[in-house]
Amino acid sequence: MGEKTGIRMSGSAEVSRARVGRVVTALIAAVFLSGCSASMWGSADENVTANQLMATPAVDSAVPKPDPREVAIAEREHPKILASFGGTYEDPEAEIAIARAVGRLVAASDSPGRSYRVTILNSPAINAFALPGGYVYVTRGLLALANDTSEVAAVIAHEMAHVTARHAFARAERAEAAAVATRVVQDIVQDPAVARMALASTQMSLARFSQVQELQADAVGIATLVRAGYDPFAAARFLTSMQRYASYKTAARDDAGADFLSSHPSTPERIVQASAVAEAAGPTEGVRDKEAYLARVDGLMFGDDPVEGYVRGREFLHAKLGLGFTVPAGFQLENTARAVLATDRGGTAMRFDGAEVKAGGDLVGYLTSGWINGLDPASVRTISLNGLPAAVASASARGYAYRIAVVRLGEQTFRFLFATKAPTPAFDQAFVDTVGSFRSLSADEKTGLKPMRIRVVTVRPGETAEVLASRMPPLERPVDLFRVFNGLGPGQQPVVGSKVKIVTDG
């Protein structure tokens, strides 16, 4: 929620936004990191040092070395990426699982002389991307979704294709040219309708340019996968898991309409192409290496890191801050590095984060300090939330209705922001119930909070998806989640004697 919807965020609560600059280097955050959100990832050699894996050629090659300018850009952006994605994730077994795939891929790639530096990010999001200069990033959330080494290799090969094709720079140059064209249109064309049409045409061209890049990277990646001896259908299989996970998260149908201004092709389009490319590769007995991979990810942290608190079903708990609250039924919680977010199907959005109020500061004064557009002064009042001092208010601006609460816990102050375009009694009740559930955690509760982890088990006779999911902690639709993370389709059951992943506490 920003100024356009009525709330001006400030300080630690401000939402950072990428800005398009006038030169290519200023486009890094907006263009380079848009590569493969919830898509595919990369890695390196078996010479593992800490969390960053380095893949370097064993012999000299005629392949040109990375442009020093690209490396400089990557080195500058690397600390920012670590800060945005929770830092690095330390897990030697996960690192080795990646490293073993990369050596084969680098040797089989079109640029075997190129070096790669791969970092596992401590984020539960399913994400991967690449920077120029061979910097590749993969989240632990993506590692949890993959089911065998060939799927990991497919992600790595895709990101390697982006690096070798210098897609990021091509995208940046195209974006810069489009920005110039847009300024010319806006300066010269007098008819607003014509100007809007020209701008829309430019945006569509840019979007399709990125989509073409993604499809190219998929095709090149699968070709590399085949040459390295991996199962060529791994890419289609992993893309299918991604699609099912997206549907699980949004509770949407698999055939939901594509966003034609998205920088990525729709997942079904990519799955169709990936399957066709794999079929064209001819008969192959490519390696999948499922059991070895599952053994490597057994114990992998799942979901939120303790530093950022935990989502447990409809409840958010933070041991270090010593707080917790619960959202009503129908809301889905998401914990991010900057805030805890929740939405429901009725169009209500919630944000919970820290407020910049000095210890002992006036809560009413904070609410009326000017950061809320459309504030109703008559709505501002102080209340007590489970013995904690708090203040609440209402606002209305730009077609949105807001309910705001700030509450003090110890020396820190936190805030809830609820927003909707269609305020109803249910909207007000959701706000009251959520804010009213805010509480201080007991010492036992804080001690008992431990991160969830992936555990690999063997399916025994009589164990269905429903039975295995019942062993997991409170999670949103656990049976659906179990199937998604084990590559099973709707209604499909695990095979007796096979290895599967479940989520456990600690």
pLDDT tens, 228-249? 999 999 999 999 999 999 888 8
- On the question of pLDDT at 6 being above 70, the answer is no
pLDDT tens, 11-46? 333 222 222 222 222 222 332 333 444 333 333 333
Examine the domain organization and report whether 129 and 266 are in the same domain: yes
Give the Cα separation of 398 and 5 in Å (integer). 6
The CATH number that applies at residue 338 is 3.40.1000.10
Examine the domain organization and report whether 479 and 423 are in the same domain: no
Examine the domain organization and report whether 386 and 373 are in the same domain: yes
Examine the domain organization and report whether 442 and 455 are in the same domain: no
Of 274, 301, 328, which residue sits at a domain end? Answer: 301
Name residues whose C-beta falls within 8 Å of residue 275's C-beta, 6 or more positions apart in sequence: 233, 236
Total domains, the chain: 3
Of 263, 280, 301, which residue sits at a domain end? Answer: 301
Contact 378, 459 (CB under 8 A): no
* pLDDT, position 204: 41
- On the question of pLDDT at 284 being above 60, the answer is yes
pLDDT tens, 115-138? 778 889 998 889 887 777 778 788
Alpha-carbon dihedral of residues 15, 16, 18, 19, nearest 10 degrees?
A: 100
Report pTM: 0.69
Q: What's the average model confidence in pLDDT over 440-463?
A: 94
* pLDDT, position 68: 75
pLDDT tens, 381-417? 999 999 999 999 999 998 999 999 999 999 999 999 9
Higher confidence at residue 130 or residue 182?
130
Q: Which domain holds residue 194?
A: 35-301
Examine the domain organization and report whether 336 and 424 are in the same domain: yes
Higher confidence at residue 291 or residue 284?
291
* pLDDT, position 266: 64
Examine the domain organization and report whether 256 and 287 are in the same domain: yes
Examine the domain organization and report whether 282 and 328 are in the same domain: no
SS3 per-residue string spanning 351-399? EEEEECCCCCCCHHHHHCCCCECCECHHHCEEEEECCEEEEEEEEEECC
